[in-house]
Structure 1
């Protein structure tokens, strides 16, 4: 089976193409990206393609595919929500419509925990039936929520196409650290500051907790969704739930309680001054995210995370300290790539084990 992966050079994409290339059911992996990387992975072929509405025609690239995995997403610029809407929403619509026109029998789409409406009281984990209304104050959550509504109509119009919506928690791995620091924190978070024992304290905001997942574990679930005759949504998260106290233990520092209002005001001011790339609306959304149950993925996909959430975070923090990355445009490390970085990309699971150990 030929599988086409959009957004194949990012955090999720690099893990997904590696996992698919190792799957005996997959005969060809075609990775699509706006800029073809110098990174080479056995079994993966690359093509330059832009999912924007006026981008590269996708139909010829989708021809003969047994599945399309749609991961392409633009987080920046947060100061121009029209631009991100154009890529993320209109681009996703184009991917699905052109896949249907090309006769692709299955599409696996990267939705998110961010698509969900605020969670219930008492942090009861929600299943995939929880409303996907998102949080209206952030472009990311608005876009993810809108696409859930679009897919409702798309599935009704194309009942013969198998549509899978993956809703992962926050995805981390060592080699994603530089990319994620640039996207969400910017220059105000130098990686060298996250060494154990170096930070004097960590701020703790009321209600701040989240679920995490190693990106390679998410890739296993994507590969299973490509291979198995499943439909619908799947939550993906590892245990345990993380909070600031857990992060403080990893970094050997203490926690200082910080009121939400001044913290939000400071973040909002820094964003308006272009000092940080993430707006305060993302913080508002984070504080309202529900906790997810992954029982359906475990049951239907025969999926079980190999890494605890703390192990994924430990790998990510190591990547921050070392400026880790991969030789793809989105994943470029904060420091010059070493030969070992290039040699290790064919075995991301082993690299993560070394990071976690």
Structure 2
């Protein structure tokens, strides 16, 4: 059986690849994503890959062609952030589902499993378990819930037009696993949240909004449910959750790490909601107040149907899944894809570095080399900030995948350079990095022929050119360090790999520049249109 997984690089998609690759019934897997992962690393190496942006209707013929020969589709693609881009979220999450199903039908596929959510259900104020017949009008105040309801309506309309199609919709609770720790921190708590402290200290008392009550499932258990639904040709809705309920006290016990003695400190929900709303509007907190509304009002699900019809049962409790997530967030865990990128270097990157306090040989001037590397680090700091902002500013454009993939590679290389300098005993020159960082921000204030809050079409051209210059300079920097690789205690192949990566980034930025320059100065073309 050949199965296509749409959105195969995120929390659930990665787990589904893990699961499918171990099943003898599955002959081959097609992974589809907007941004491709490291296809040489497991579990991504188990799949063939196709790059597609499902938000635009013109993707349907291309995707239908890619899906030829597949027996089933598992559709998992869902954009959580940015909250502020509601039209983008709706295009990817709701329109994208329509495009995927239509492409599957055109490809002759008659079976799909789609990721829905507990968020599709109407509110329930008690803890009585509800089955799949509970009303699906969503939770007021939650844009995630609103879009999940709209997505299910798309599925209903599709089935009316294709009555011979088997379509299963899985409605899981929150999905946790250790490898998603860094991703979930970025999406909900933010990059600056001091979650690292949880490695050394667990709070004995955990403040929580009163009335929080949710269910969870480990990503591996959810992946098994998706695989079972696809292999069995299941049809209809299925609740997917662990048996235990995560209320305030249960969350406190896990978070504190103190077992039964962990205590929850209930806080007035309306006060917490107001604080979350203010922090989100101030761009301090990625999560908006709708997520709290969701956690307080979704019903408790009954997963009996999944047990009976999918022969599925969870191996992890919700508390165990939450504990894994906390450990993953504290350690900054991730996987080799852009959505799941780890917070710091992974084990492979660290193995390429010299031992700590590595001493240079006598033929290299440590002062000159330190200053050279510090200057490159200052440039890398500017580059990371610039391309990170570009990734956020142009998330709704066709060249976002190229910008985003380059941004992740540049971020990772900067962390590598910092660690390399540490292991040489080189102090970080904070002054030059800080000045470069400040200069990059001042540069944003330059006039561009538009109001300050508008995006100028020419800005993307100029920013792509500046990043091309920066990547070219970095490439020469890696070449210089390769010449002194043995003195630095690093295999020259490591620097060659960095040089090769810089060439890839240059190609990606050339694509961005080509796209922008052909539109920026024309009156008959839109720079920020949604199709190429």
TM-score (normalizing by structure 2): 0.62
Pair 1:22 & 2:25 matched? no
The residue aligned with 1:189 is 193
Q: Aligned equivalents of 1:261 and 1:272: distance in 2?
A: 16
Instruction: Report Cα offsets for 1:235-277 as digits up to 9, x if no partner.
Output: 0000210122222222235322211121111111000000011
Aligned runs of 1:156-235 on 2, under 5 Å?
Answer: 156-195=160-199, 197-199=201-203, 201-235=205-239
The residue aligned with 2:8 is 8
Higher CA-based Rg: 2
Q: Aligned equivalents of 1:54 and 1:149: distance in 2?
A: 18
Pair 1:330 & 2:339 matched? yes
Structure 2: gaps (5+ residues) = 352-532
Q: Aligned equivalents of 2:304 and 2:58: distance in 1?
A: 38
- What is the aligned counterpart of 1:321 among 324, 327, 330? 330
- What is the aligned counterpart of 1:96 among 77, 81, 101? 101
Cα distance, 1:246–1:188 mapped onto 2, change above 3 Å = farther
Q: Aligned equivalents of 2:350 and 2:88: distance in 1?
A: 33
- SS of residue in 1 equivalent to 2:300: coil
- SS of residue in 2 equivalent to 1:312: helix
| 8 Å contact kept, 1:203–1:256 | yes
Pair 1:146 & 2:146 matched? no
Structure 1: gaps (5+ residues) = 343-357
Q: Aligned equivalents of 1:31 and 1:161: distance in 2?
A: 22
| 8 Å contact kept, 2:218–2:316 | yes
Pair 1:306 & 2:311 matched? no
Q: Aligned equivalents of 1:72 and 1:238: distance in 2?
A: 23
Q: Aligned equivalents of 1:94 and 1:160: distance in 2?
A: 18
| 8 Å contact kept, 1:193–1:199 | no
Q: Aligned equivalents of 1:14 and 1:341: distance in 2?
A: 23
- What is the aligned counterpart of 2:119 among 95, 114, 121? 114
CA RMSD after TM alignment: 1.8
Deviates more, 1:190-199 or 1:209-218: 190-199
| 8 Å contact kept, 1:49–1:55 | no
The residue aligned with 1:52 is 55
Deviates more, 1:292-301 or 1:13-22: 13-22
The residue aligned with 1:346 is none
Instruction: Report Cα offsets for 1:69-106 as digits up to 9, x if no partner.
Output: 00001011101211101111111111111111111110
Count of aligned positions: 341
State the 1:197 CA deviation: 4.3
Cα distance, 1:294–1:327 mapped onto 2, change above 3 Å = same
- SS of residue in 1 equivalent to 2:334: coil
Pair 1:66 & 2:71 matched? yes
- SS of residue in 1 equivalent to 2:97: helix
Q: Aligned equivalents of 1:122 and 1:272: distance in 2?
A: 31
| 8 Å contact kept, 2:211–2:269 | no
TM-score (normalizing by structure 1): 0.91
Q: Aligned equivalents of 2:9 and 2:90: distance in 1?
A: 20
Cα distance, 1:181–1:341 mapped onto 2, change above 3 Å = farther
Pair 1:128 & 2:132 matched? yes
Q: Aligned equivalents of 1:300 and 1:255: distance in 2?
A: 37
Q: Aligned equivalents of 1:188 and 1:336: distance in 2?
A: 17
- SS of residue in 2 equivalent to 1:58: helix
Pair 1:267 & 2:276 matched? yes
Cα distance, 1:238–1:198 mapped onto 2, change above 3 Å = closer
Pair 1:257 & 2:288 matched? no
State the 1:187 CA deviation: 3.1
Q: Aligned equivalents of 2:273 and 2:130: distance in 1?
A: 27
- What is the aligned counterpart of 1:238 among 242, 251, 269? 242
